[in-house]
Amino acid sequence: MNSGRILIVDDNEDLLKAARMFLKRHFGQIDLEKDPTLLPDLLKNESYDVIMLDMNFTQDVNSGQEGFHWLDQILEIDPSAVVLLITAFGSVDLAVKAIKAGASDFVMKPWENEKLLATLLSAMKLKSSKTEIQQLKDQQAVLKADLDEKFKDIIGQSPNMMQVFDTIDRVAETDANVLVLGENGTGKELIARSLHRNSNRADNPFVSVDLGAITESLFESELFGHVKGSFTDAKTDRPGRFEVANRGTLFLDEIGNLSLPLQAKLLTALQNKKITRVGSNRIIDVDIRLVCATNMPLYDMVQKGEFRQDLLYRINTIELRLPSLKERGDDIPLLAEHYLGQYAKKYNKDIYKFSEAALTRLGKYHWPGNVRELQHAVERAVIMSRDNILQPEDFFFNAAQQPKENSGDISLEQYNLEDVERILIRKVLAKHNGNVTHAAQELGLTRSSLYRRLEKYGL
């Protein structure tokens, strides 16, 4: 039995009884109503999967106008309603008119039970699809509302980042092509998404393509699409990223990795605003807003003949340079706190802040991996820490990227006071082969004081 809810509205009592007797074996709820004027109250208090509506009541014998009137009323109350119109005086023209008016199908009476059941089951599937589509639209609306903060997920208050925000403000609503330049890990895709979110194309797709991950043989198929049978693995027709991004934004990341032949193909598509799927001759018009990004020196590459100058001019109507993390050091505490909250929740850790010494250490490090490296460092620290406050020793940096602790002298310019104390204790312990009593004596500490520091620094 299907759990569906069916409402049948007809002034023929015998028909209603016969319909209920047959349909109650197949559906969970069958409601009957002879008076269509009660429909508004019914629909405000109950939700139906399918409504079967007679087209002719006592006031109007065979024109079907009453049915169209009540169809309009139903759809006004519930635009997603699935309505089957039923009549004994149907015709093809009336059926076409009913569908155009918003009915989902048309049923002639007297009906065959099996045919009626098949029609109702098909209508149930339609209702399910409509419900899923509406749920997706509702979810999209909520997510879009959540993302409506202008620069959501782009965290920063430093002067360099304020300049970036100002550029996005000026450029986003235009259709100008934007080239985002910056080191790895600086957040180039976040900038591209922000440009899209604040543009007139925000309700249409944002499509991201990592050009560095696409082989030369698959470039045209990925970007322009292909038709079935155009090459060995082309089992079905498939649209390319240009088509999918139509009326939206196409983000081409790592554009500096394209070979010269692929640059030529991309340039042709951008100039003509037309593409052709692999294996097809049909020309497809595309309307995209283009945002590109790279960490490579495109201007130097142009001078060396490695990047087409005409393609560079095409993609950089507006050029936006992202600062490295060391150029926006004021943002490090802000970013670190953001990631701490994120990962403490993810890993169910009761860690709520950084010690001042930890923030000092983060500020002194030069972050070759930029924001992405900071994010991973905080995640690792949250996972490994046993305390509810992150300490300097919770952060482990690549030895090649920081001063070595076993160098001859300890420089206060390189370390804060807690770092110096930790390094000194470690060296003295190593000197005395881990003997706490001898180490405490040399350091001028009591054993208990040294034990407290060992616990503090995780030594």
Query: What are the distances in angstroms from CA 160 to CA 73, 331, 338?
Result: 58, 10, 19
Q: How far is residue 180's CA from residue 249's CA, in Å, rounded to a whole number?
A: 14
Q: List the domain boundaries for the chain.
A: 2-138, 159-323, 326-457
Query: What are the distances in angstroms from CA 123 to CA 83, 112, 116, 130, 149?
Result: 8, 16, 10, 10, 40
The pTM score is: 0.60
CATH of domain 159-323: 3.40.50.300
Task: Say yes or no to pLDDT of 334 above 70.
Answer: yes
Q: Give 41's contacts (C-beta < 8 A, 6+ positions apart).
A: none
Q: How far is residue 319's CA from residue 37's CA, in Å, rounded to a whole number?
A: 64
pLDDT tens for 132-154 read 887 777 666 655 554 444 456 68
Judge contact between 116 and 295, C-beta under 8 A: no
Q: Counting every residue, how long is the chain?
A: 459
Q: How far is residue 290's CA from residue 251's CA, in Å, rounded to a whole number?
A: 6
Q: Which two tokens stand for residue 196?
A: 């899209």
Per-residue model confidence (pLDDT) at position 445: 77
Strand partners, 32: 8
Considering the chain, what is the average pLDDT of its residues? 86
Per-residue model confidence (pLDDT) at position 63: 66
| Identical topology for domains 159-323 and 326-457 | no
CATH of domain 326-457: 1.10.8.60
**CATH pick for 2-138 out of 3.50.50.60, 1.20.120.160, 3.40.50.2300, 3.30.420.40:** 3.40.50.2300
pLDDT tens for 415-425 read 556 667 777 88
Judge contact between 322 and 182, C-beta under 8 A: yes
Q: How far is residue 317's CA from residue 324's CA, in Å, rounded to a whole number?
A: 22
Q: How far is residue 344's CA from residue 388's CA, in Å, rounded to a whole number?
A: 10
Per-residue model confidence (pLDDT) at position 139: 65
Judge contact between 403 and 367, C-beta under 8 A: no
Q: How far is residue 289's CA from residue 382's CA, in Å, rounded to a whole number?
A: 40
| Region of residue 286 (phi > 0: left; psi between -120 and 50: alpha; otherwise: beta) | beta
